[in-house]
């Protein structure tokens, strides 16, 4: 993975929940000092409050398991999505989780066709990779970002990480809709075309290392 620049590391630190909570507690300590509640050792107390805030949220990043597509069979597509939704339910923006629910419904509808011998192999591979590898990796990368940074800081094309995430989820959702339509029509040629488009356009997003300088 490409190295993260010093500027980006500084921004991630400033936006981190640990730093924000630490600053709030440190400001509370300064308030006590200026109000006369503390006098001696005030600087040490303020620094200590910042450290407490930092430690309270230490290692607060959610863990998302990313399955390797080689070990996934078609019947496990729904299990992979179920686990991803369980792990990210309370951590993702509501709009993003709504996309996951819609994606889950489409996959549930087309999953039985994946075991059909008439299913196009290339389309099956593209769908499996998108759902069991690329989507979980993108969600994992997003959830590792500080919430304030992901929501507020513009990083590419005038968009925040949250907006880029929603853009990717929308792309996946709409492409899965097309795939589902073609499954029911038994349109093998269209399935191949949509599968290739999905493979080319939907890739894991790192957010902070994919940014163009």
Token pair listed for 133: 């590898």
Q: What is the pLDDT of residues 36-60, one digit of tens each?
A: 888 888 888 889 988 888 888 776 6
Q: What percentage of the chain has pLDDT greater than the value 70?
A: 73
The answer on 127 and 42 residing in a single domain is: no
The per-residue DSSP string of 39-84 comes to -TTHHHHHHHHHHHHHHHTTT---------GGG--GGGHHHHHHHH
Torsion of Cα atoms, 80 then 131 then 120 then 70, to 10°: -60
Q: How many domains does the chain have?
A: 2
Among 107, 124, 118, 139, smallest CA distance to 73 is for 124
Q: Which domain holds residue 10?
A: 6-56
The answer for residues whose C-beta is within 8 angstroms of residue 84's C-beta and 6 or more apart is 64, 100, 135, 136, 139
The answer on 107 and 44 residing in a single domain is: no
pLDDT above 60 for 70: no
pTM, two decimals, is 0.66
Q: Cα 182 to chain center, whole Å?
A: 28
Q: What is the pLDDT of residues 4-22, one digit of tens each?
A: 677 777 777 788 888 888 8
The answer on 40 and 86 residing in a single domain is: no
The answer on 178 and 101 residing in a single domain is: yes
131 within domain boundaries: yes
């Amino acid at each position: 993975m490409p190295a993260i620049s010093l500027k980006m590391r500084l921004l991630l630190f400033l936006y981190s929940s640990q730093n924000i909570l630490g600053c709030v507690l440190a400001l509370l300590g300064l308030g006590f000092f200026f109000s006369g509640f503390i006098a001696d050792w005030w600087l040490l107390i303020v620094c200590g409050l910042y450290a407490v805030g930092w430690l309270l949220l230490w290692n607060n990043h959610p863990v998302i398991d990313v399955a390797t597509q080689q070990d996934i069979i078609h019947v496990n597509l729904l299990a992979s999505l179920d686990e991803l939704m369980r792990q990210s339910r309370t951590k993702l923006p509501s709009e993003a989780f709504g996309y996951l629910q819609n994606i889950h419904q489409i996959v549930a509808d087309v999953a039985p066709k994946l075991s059909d011998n008439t299913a196009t192999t290339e389309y099956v591979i593209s769908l499996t990779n998108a759902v069991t590898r690329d989507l979980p990796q993108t969600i994992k990368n997003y959830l590792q970002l500080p919430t304030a940074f992901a929501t507020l800081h513009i990083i590419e094309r005038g968009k925040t990480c949250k907006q880029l995430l929603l853009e990717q989820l929308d792309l996946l959702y709409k492409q899965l809709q097309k795939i589902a339509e073609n499954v029911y029509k038994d349109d093998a040629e269209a399935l191949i075309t949509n599968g290739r488009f999905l493979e080319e356009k939907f890739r894991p997003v790192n957010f902070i290392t994919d940014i163009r300088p």
